[in-house]
Amino acid sequence: MATCHCLLLPAPFKPTIIPPKPTSKITCSSITTQSQSAKQHLLTLISDQHRGLKTQNDPVKGSSIIQAIDAMADLGKDTVTTEDSLSATWRLLWTTEKEQLFIIEKAPLFGTQAGDVLQVIDVEKRTLNNVITFPPDGVFFVRSSIEVASSQRVNFRFTSAVLRGKSWEIPLPPFGQGWFESVYIDEDIRVVKDIRGRLFSC
């Protein structure tokens, strides 16, 4: 289950008799306010982008979103994002990954609509499942094994895949490996960059 992590703890306050000039003190509260503001800005930018479909044809909006993502990554710098906070079911909000956007966009050609796009991660069990739903009965399911490589990076290897309908399923061969970095994470959002430079907000 995703849990909240503070980005910076307040330093102990030691009063001086005659300070040379007023100084600002960075506190956990101020950092939290900053992260909430940056997060809300990012969520506002992507709220009407249909998970990234509209962004493909709007380079100005895309540039604004990338800047907002970089701001979130800066706030998440030096934090650990590969522990218990990563274990959760994450729903895709926005991405630059062309394969996922292609599936979302072309689903109506097959008489359906793409539903939720999910990542189900269990750090302890070292598993990652990518799921794209096609209501009411369809699902594309990709299983992977994972290994924590650093404080923010996770390596993954695809192990199996299946395309499933109401009364049928087609197994597909596993197809590759790579890594991703969760550059920011809290109880509401996870911002990810991967081996191919793709960006995700979940």
- Report the domain count for the chain: 1
Q: Which of 6-15, 50-59, 146-155 has the lowest mean pLDDT?
A: 6-15
Predicted local confidence at residue 96, as pLDDT: 93
100 lies in some domain: yes
Predicted local confidence at residue 109, as pLDDT: 85
Which residue range forms the structural domain that includes residue 51? 28-201
Collect all residues with Cβ–Cβ distance below 8 Å to 49 and sequence separation of at least 6: 55, 61, 65, 94
156-197 pLDDT tens trace: 999 999 999 989 999 998 778 999 999 999 988 999 999 776
For residue 157 the two structure tokens come to 């290897």
Is the pLDDT at 85 greater than 70, yes or no? yes
CATH of the domain at 62: 2.40.128
Taking CA atoms, 115 is separated from 55, 77, 118, 163, in Å, by 19, 32, 10, 14
Which H or E run includes 104? Answer: helix 98-106
15 lies in some domain: no
- Which residue, 108, 110, 103, is CA-closest to 142? 103
Mean pLDDT of the region 75-86: 96
pTM: 0.80
